[in-house]
Structure 1
Amino acid sequence: MQGQLGFDSMPRKLIKVTPSRLGVWADCPRRFRMTYVDRPTPPRGGPWAHSTLGAVVHNALRALFDLPVAKRTPETAAALVGTHWKDDGFADQDQAAVFRDRAAGWVHDYVKDQDVTDDPVGLERWVSAPVGTIVAEGRVDRIDHRDGELVIIDYKTGRHALTTDDARGSQALALYVLAARRTLRRPCTKVELHHLPTGTVAAWEHTEESLARHLTRAEETADEFQLAIDTAKAGGDPEVLFPPNPGRQCAWCDFRRNCAEGQSAGPQLDPWAMLSP
C-alpha cells in the first residue's frame, strides 16, 4: 500500500536558509549547533565594538530614510549617529568617542556624496521565498528601485575597501536577489556593497547562471546541516555530527568559553581588537 501511495515521491520539505546560517556552518559546525540547535542556547560572550559600530551606522541610515526628503541632510545623518550611539564593546569612553566621531563623519560624507532623495522600496526589509530546495530569506539593509528593477544594497563598515569581486562573490546578496524578486514581484539582478569608511560602492549585476551557481552552493550546504540536525534528533552523536573547526576565527567566537578546542587554538581577542587602527 505504501509503495502504491509513492511516499518516495512526496514533496521534499524545504530547508530555511539565511546567509548567517550558511556562513556559520561553513565557519564551524560546532558553533552552528550552539547557535541554532542547542536549547537552551549556551551563554555567549560579550559585545564586540566593531559590531556595535556597524549597528549604529545601519540604524542611523535607516532613521535618515524614514525622514522627509528635505531633512535628509549630511548634518542630520551625522547627528543620528549620536542619537543611536552605544559604547558596548569599546575599551573605554575615550575610544568610543573617537569612533563615534569617525562614524558620524562616514555617514555625513555618504549622504553628501550619494543621492538620498528617492524613497527606498525597503529598509531592513525581511524577504523570504522558496527557491529550489530551500527557502531563501534574510533582512536586507536597503532595497532601491531604479530603472524598473530592484537593487539590493548592503552597508559595510569593516576595515577594508570592497571590490566588484566581493559583490559578485557574496552569497548573501545573491540569495537576497532570489528572495526579493519573489517577495516583491519585481525584476532584480543588481547588488551593491556600500563601504562607509571609504565612501566606495562595489556593484555587480547577476545573470541567471551566476544566481544558479550561488543557489546550488546554498542548497548543498543546507543539505549538509539539515542532515546533521535530523541525524542528531534521531539519536546521533552531536560531537561527531557537529565537529569543531579550530582556527584563527576562534579568537572572536561568541561560544569560545564552551569550546576547549577553540580555547586551545589561540588567545582571545579584546572586544575592540577588530576596529580599524
Structure 2
Amino acid sequence: MKTYSYSRIGAYENCPFQFKLRYIDRIKPDTEGIEAFMGSRVHESLEKLYRDKMMAKDPQLDELIDFYDVNWEKKFHDGVLVIRKDYTSDNYKEIGRNCLEGYYRRYYPFEQAKTIALEMRIEVPLPDSEFKFIGFIDRVDQRENGTYEIHDYKTSSTLPYQSEIDQDKQLALYQLGIEPLWNDISDVDLVWHYLKFDKEFRSKRNRITLEMLKEEIVKKIYEIETAESFEPKESALCNWCGYQDLCPSKKHAFKVADLPPDAFIEEDGVRLVNRFIELKNQKKKLEEEESRLKDAIYRYALREGVDVINGSEYRLRIKISKKPEYPSKSRDEERYNELVNLLKSSGIWEEVSVFNSNKLVKLLDTKQIDDTVANSIKTFEEIVEYRRIYPSRLKDDES
C-alpha cells in the first residue's frame, strides 16, 4: 500500500518536478536549508523538554539550551545552506535559542495539560482508497476537562492570520488520525506555536469539515497518481530547493553561480542570453524610432498637402483613410453583445452572418436597413483612421 503524508502532498503542490525527484526517483538531496535545520533542532529540544516532564524531571532552561547547542554542533554539516547572504549560521542558531527561551518562560512549569504522546506517528483512514495517509504529531495533550490538544511547533518567519489557521489542513488530518485511538475523545483543540513571535493559535474543526477533508485528500492523491508529467514550478521556494542542479529551470543558474566574473561572462549560455537581449533592445529602439518617424511623415504630408514624398533613391506614398468600425467581441464584449442583440431583434443578423463590420457598413451605405434601425446601429459606430506608407524606388517608378 502506497503511503502519503502532508509533506508529500505539499511537495507536489509546491513543485511537481521536486516531488518526482524526491518520491518517485528517490533522489536524496545533499543539502538542506538552514531554516529547516534550525527548525529540526528546536523540535528535538522541545521533545526533550516534555519527555523530561513526563519522566518527572523538572525541565531547566540552561539544560534545555545546552542540549540545543550540543545537538546543533553534532548535526551541523557542510550541506547546510544559508541562502540569505546577510546572515550567518550563528544568526540562525541564536534565533533557535530565542525560540526556546521564549517558549520556556511562557509555559513554565508546563502544567497546562497532561502530555499523552510526543512525535507520535498516526494513520488517517481514507474512504474507499488503497492509499495510506500518515503523519507525525509534535505533541498530544489532554486537559483536566477531557479536551485533547494537538500541538505543532513552527519556526517560520511569517505569522499567519487566524483565518488562515482556521483553514489549515495538516492538524485537522492529525485529528482524524487520533480519534480512533482513544474512546474518550469528544473534543479536540488544534494548537499552533509560532515560536519566533511567541504566539499561540487555536482552532477547532467540525465533523462535516473533517469528512470533506478526507474526500479532498483522496482526490488530491488520485490527481498525483494519474499525473502524466511533473513540470517544474518556479517560486520563491526554489532558493531553498536541494535539487537545483537537476532542475531544468534552475540547472544553469546553479552551474554558473560560483563562476568568477570573467568565466561567467564568457560562459556559452550567458553569452547567448546577453546577445539575445542586446538585439531585442536594439529592435525595440528601432521600432520606437520608426514609430516617431512615421508620425513625422504623416504630419509633413498633411501640412504640405501631399500624398507622395520623394527622397534620394526612394519615394513614400502616404495613404490616410477613415472608415467606420463597430465593436468586436475581443475589444468591447459588452457593447458587442448589445449590438448583436439589436441586429438579431431587427432581423438582419443573418445578413451579416458571423458579425463583420465591413458587411454591416455595406448594408448601411446601400440603404438596405430601415432608417430607425440604422440610426440605432450607428450609435455603436466608431470612426477609425488608417495610415499606411508604401515605399518604392524612384528608378522603379520612372520605368
Cα distance in 2 for partners of 1:23, 1:269 equals 28
Partner in structure 2 of residue 243 of structure 1: 231
Deviation at 1:143, TM superposition (A): 0.9
Answer 1 or 2: higher relative contact order, Cα 8 Å, separation at least 6: 1
Check the 8 A contact 2:245/2:255 in 1, yes or no: no
Task: Say which SS state the counterpart of residue 104 (structure 2) adopts.
Answer: helix
Query: Deviations 1:139-176 (Å, cap 9, x if unpaired)?
Result: 11111112313211110001122332232222111111
Partner in structure 1 of residue 214 of structure 2: 215
Letter matched to residue 63 of structure 1: K
Cα distance in 2 for partners of 1:268, 1:156 equals 34
Deviation at 1:135, TM superposition (A): 3.0
Query: Which stretch of structure 1 is more off in the superposition, 28-37 or 260-269?
Result: 260-269
Cα distance in 2 for partners of 1:269, 1:145 equals 51
Pair 1:111–1:268, CA change in 2 (3 A): farther
Partner in structure 1 of residue 312 of structure 2: none
Partner in structure 2 of residue 120 of structure 1: 115
Letter matched to residue 124 of structure 2: A
Cα distance in 2 for partners of 1:208, 1:105 equals 38
Corresponding pairs, count: 243
Check the 8 A contact 2:45/2:64 in 1, yes or no: yes
Structure 1 vs Structure 2 CA RMSD: 2.9
Query: Deviations 1:168-213 (Å, cap 9, x if unpaired)?
Result: 2221111111111123443453211101111111110111122223
Pair 1:167–1:66, CA change in 2 (3 A): same
Cα distance in 2 for partners of 1:151, 1:241 equals 40
**Match status 1:226 vs 2:225:** yes
Cα distance in 2 for partners of 1:136, 1:82 equals 34
Deviation at 1:70, TM superposition (A): 4.8
Cα distance in 2 for partners of 1:20, 1:34 equals 14
**Match status 1:256 vs 2:249:** no
Task: Say which SS state the counterpart of residue 210 (structure 2) adopts.
Answer: helix
Cα distance in 2 for partners of 1:268, 1:138 equals 39
**Match status 1:145 vs 2:138:** no
Aligned with residue 53 of structure 1, among 38, 45, 52: 38
Partner in structure 2 of residue 175 of structure 1: 173
Check the 8 A contact 1:155/1:194 in 2, yes or no: yes
Letter matched to residue 208 of structure 1: R
Check the 8 A contact 1:151/1:191 in 2, yes or no: yes
Aligned with residue 99 of structure 1, among 92, 96, 99: 92
Check the 8 A contact 2:18/2:243 in 1, yes or no: yes
Letter matched to residue 53 of structure 1: M
Pair 1:111–1:151, CA change in 2 (3 A): same
**Gap runs ≥5 in structure 1:** 1-13, 229-239, 271-277
Pair 1:262–1:247, CA change in 2 (3 A): farther
Letter matched to residue 131 of structure 1: L
Q: TM-score, normalised by structure 2?
A: 0.55
Check the 8 A contact 1:195/1:201 in 2, yes or no: yes
Letter matched to residue 127 of structure 1: I
Partner in structure 2 of residue 44 of structure 1: 29
**Match status 1:27 vs 2:22:** no
Task: Say which SS state the counterpart of residue 60 (structure 1) adopts.
Answer: helix
Deviation at 1:105, TM superposition (A): 2.4
Pair 1:184–1:28, CA change in 2 (3 A): farther
Alignment of 1:146-165 (within 5 A): 146=143, 147-165=145-163
Letter matched to residue 126 of structure 1: R
Cα distance in 1 for partners of 2:177, 2:257 equals 36
Cα distance in 2 for partners of 1:257, 1:266 equals 6
Pair 1:250–1:103, CA change in 2 (3 A): closer
**Gap runs ≥5 in structure 2:** 259-399
Identity %: 19
Pair 1:187–1:16, CA change in 2 (3 A): farther
Pair 1:79–1:269, CA change in 2 (3 A): farther
